Amino acid sequence: MNELPVVSIQNLRKSFTMNDGSGLLVLDDISLNVLQGEMVGFIGCSGCGKTTLLRIVGGFENPDSGYVLVDGKAHSQPEKSVLMLFQDLNQLLPWKTVLSNVTAPLLATGAAATKKEAESRALKRIAEVGLEKFAAAYPHQISGGMKQRAALARALALQPRVLLMDEPFASLDNITRKSLQILTRSVCEKYGVTVLFVTHSIDEAVIMADRIVVLNMNPGSIREVFDNSGRENLTSAQRGQRTGDVMASLGMGEM
């Protein structure tokens, strides 16, 4: 395959200066190519640098060395073509209704010319994530899962090339999380969005990702990449096998 990768991560290295002045190497030589429409899940223990990696890919943070290309062009500043879905359940602007949270960015970025156009597009995305009844609600009036759905609609409405998700469902209950995983996968597939997401849940990775990247700890580096293609049609035994493989790679084999 000589298809140009949408996201190309090349030899990223990042360290933070600790309070005592010493350096902490967080990411060490991370390289990965992500193809158009692919969903790649990064999995690793807490503190292994997942958030840092995603923030660098998003342009929110600069690497010490290495670089990120999006569609072959250097990506070192946040851009609206590469959107971040945060873990924070309160990422919507509380003074705007769900509808206006989705509409305002369309107008502010010039993605929609008129308020009418913006609203009609926003309403479609809101319906897609199942929130049509709550378009007029304020964020504080809806549940955490609904807020994440709205944040997803807000991002998708801007038609991003790449969506970055930092444990977006980590603080939700199990049932809500499951339905959001399936929803996210299907809407991102529908629009051909390339997705990089971070999780510490093996199940989440196996359900959502086309490829699963297992990260080492201290410093974070790529330990193993699993092909998880055909994930929709796995028998539960096969799914169990894949989960087991990832667990073993994470060093949880004995558990």
- Which residues contact another protein (rule: CB under 8 A)? 58, 60, 78-80, 82-84, 86, 88, 90-91, 93-95, 104-105, 108-109, 138-141, 158
Residue 4 tokens read as 């140009």
Shortest distance (Å) from residue 159 CB to another protein: 12
Q: Which is nearer to ligand ADP, 50 or 125 (CB)?
A: 50
Site string for ligand ADP, 37-76 (x = CB under 6 A): -------x-xxxxxxx------------------------
Q: Which is nearer to Mg ion, 97 or 148 (CB)?
A: 148
Q: Which is nearer to ligand ADP, 27 or 155 (CB)?
A: 27
Structural element, H or E, at residue 133: none
Q: Which is nearer to another protein, 89 or 250 (CB)?
A: 89
Q: Which is nearer to another protein, 54 or 209 (CB)?
A: 54
What does 206 interact with, of Mg ion, another protein, ligand ADP, none (CB < 5 to 8 A by kind)? none
The answer to the question of residue 205 lying near ligand ADP (CB under 6 A) is no
Give the binding-site size for ligand ADP (rule: CB under 6 A). 10
What does 46 interact with, of another protein, Mg ion, ligand ADP, none (CB < 5 to 8 A by kind)? ligand ADP
Unique residue bearing structure tokens 């990768």: 5
Q: For residues 107 and 149, what is the distance between their CA atoms, to the nearest angstrom?
A: 20
The answer to the question of residue 16 lying near ligand ADP (CB under 6 A) is yes
User: Residue 107 forms beta bridges with which residues?
Assistant: none
Shortest distance (Å) from residue 163 CB to another protein: 11
Sequence length of the chain is 255
Terminal C-alpha separation, the chain: 38
The answer to the question of residue 92 lying near ligand ADP (CB under 6 A) is no
What does 104 interact with, of ligand ADP, Mg ion, another protein, none (CB < 5 to 8 A by kind)? another protein
Binding site for ligand ADP (CB under 6 A): 16, 26, 44, 46-52
